[in-house]
A and B are shown apart, each in its own frame.
Chain A
């Protein structure tokens, strides 16, 4: 490809307006709230665009049925489920093949962040309910589940943040919405552990050249990093001390040590407290 050609392409890409007016590398507006299911050990609610998803964590606890337990390590079990009214037209509440596969893929995306070897014969159950679906539910579900795991006080190596990239009208774009997902040429959902620099969920369907694939993966990693900040903010709101907080409040903190450290360390301390 000649230089002038690439230049022209870039120009059009900047001008390209997406269905909801976002830039090509902009994620949908995302909010996360923790602890919204009082009975659960940990929970989180995410709104990512029009996705509305609740994740609740129970455990580590004894595995039922016992035959599914492992003698040398714990098991992470994820149930991904869509409410019948989460899509139009209504869907059957019975778990579909798709739901089962996503549950399995979510286990793979979250378990690299856990210390499962610490919980022999036990299970950590993550239940995800899609209340409203708007494309990219598996990524939004991973985001909520990761925050819910932290909320449950389960030690983690890193947070897992997820975001999809895809191709729409010939352009690689970030975080496809429902319409873009259906009309677009490709979708690459991805989950990423920012501190460990590891991709833990990677799927793709559609048609992309190898260069486009790499570009989409890179873009999705950048998107995940943005989501990561939102996840951290949500957790800080409940557990951490904001960086700019006044000294007064700092003094109020139970542990003086914790306040001296960086905010992420505060988070970890709080996790262990739980």
Chain B
């Protein structure tokens, strides 16, 4: 799924190890790498987080500005997500227009947040049809070793949870900064879990090499009420209905675990 080349020997080894119920780095099939998380470490942005998942390293910046609403939703603020594959992150990554992977990453995390209705966007309208908050969540990949969707999804939740946006007073149809700020009100905390399929085995938190060897993957985003809010299947394979059901069960369990981690390691 990328241009990260894995030798045939290693490919075979990864498949064998997974078939034996283990991983190259000693993990079990459904075990995540160690996760470390830091929030609010940037001053200029409204919210930020830095998440490391093994060697995968991402930063999320949340920024808010005042802008005009979309024509079809004049009474709602805007929440959007972008992703950047920085050339720092891997030997095969280069500067230039966003590759497909970055587009997908941004869109899947974006759907995870927005379709879960993480914010009531009506709360972020200041003057209907004129001024609303534009809240941007920028996913920044600094080192790539697989599982970007889960890493960025969790980091985005952590960053949004701690973000503080400036408040405004509306007087005579004009905005006036109050100099104070308020926290975002998160309704839910959706967490994406990507289940990667290698032959007939499911693994979680795949490394870059495992992703290269994998046949496909299914990302399922779950909120804390165990609602599914996003699904995304990738790869040149099909999933049977039973496999999908199995993946939903895995995601239900793991999303809660990862969500707890994003709170604990603050």
Contacts and interface: CB of A to CB of B under 8 A. Distances in A.
Given A97-B107, A101-B104, A205-B115, A199 B232 contact: no
Contacts of A104: 100, 103-104
Interface stretch (A42-50, A172-180, A209-217, A262-270): A209-217
A134 B106 CA distance: 25
B231 A203 contact: yes
A75 B35 CA distance: 36
A98 B231 contact: no
Given A197-B240, A217-B241, A108 B227 contact: no
Nearest to A116: B236
A186 B71 CA distance: 22
Contacts of A210: 226-228, 248-249, 252
B216 A108 contact: yes
Contact of B233 (A98, A186, A199): A199
Contacts of A208: 227-229
A229 interface: no
B42 interface: no
A165 B106 CA distance: 24
Given A112-B238, A199-B239, A208-B227, A213 B233 contact: no
Contact of B240 (A198, A207, A213): A198
A98 B100 contact: no
Contacts of B218: 202
Given A202-B233, A207-B115, A210-B248, A193 B238 contact: yes
Name the residue among B230, B231, B249 with the largest chain A CB count within 10 angstroms: B231
Contacts of A218: 241
B236 A112 contact: yes
B264 interface: no
A188 B231 contact: yes
B244 A202 contact: yes
25 contacts: A98-B107, A100-B100, A101-B100, A101-B107, A111-B236, A112-B237, A116-B236, A198-B240, A199-B241, A200-B233, A202-B231, A202-B239, A203-B230, A203-B231, A204-B232, A205-B115, A205-B229, A205-B230, A207-B228, A207-B229, A208-B229, A210-B227, A213-B248, A217-B244, A218-B241
Nearest to A204: B231
A193 B236 CA distance: 13
Contacts of A199: 233, 238-241, 244
Nearest to A186: B115
Name the residue among B229, B233, B239 with the largest chain A CB count within 10 angstroms: B233
Contacts of A93: none
B245 interface: yes
A206 interface: yes
Interface in B102-116: 103-104, 106-107, 111, 114-116
Nearest to B227: A207
Contacts of B106: 97
A253 interface: no
Contacts of A149: none
Nearest to A110: B236
B235 interface: yes
Contacts of B236: 107-108, 111-112, 116
Contacts of B234: 105, 108
A242 interface: no
Contacts of B107: 97-98, 101
A128 interface: no
A82 interface: no
B117 interface: yes
Contacts of A202: 218, 231-233, 239, 244
A201 interface: yes
B115 A206 contact: yes
Contacts of A206: 115, 229
A165 to B, nearest CB: 12
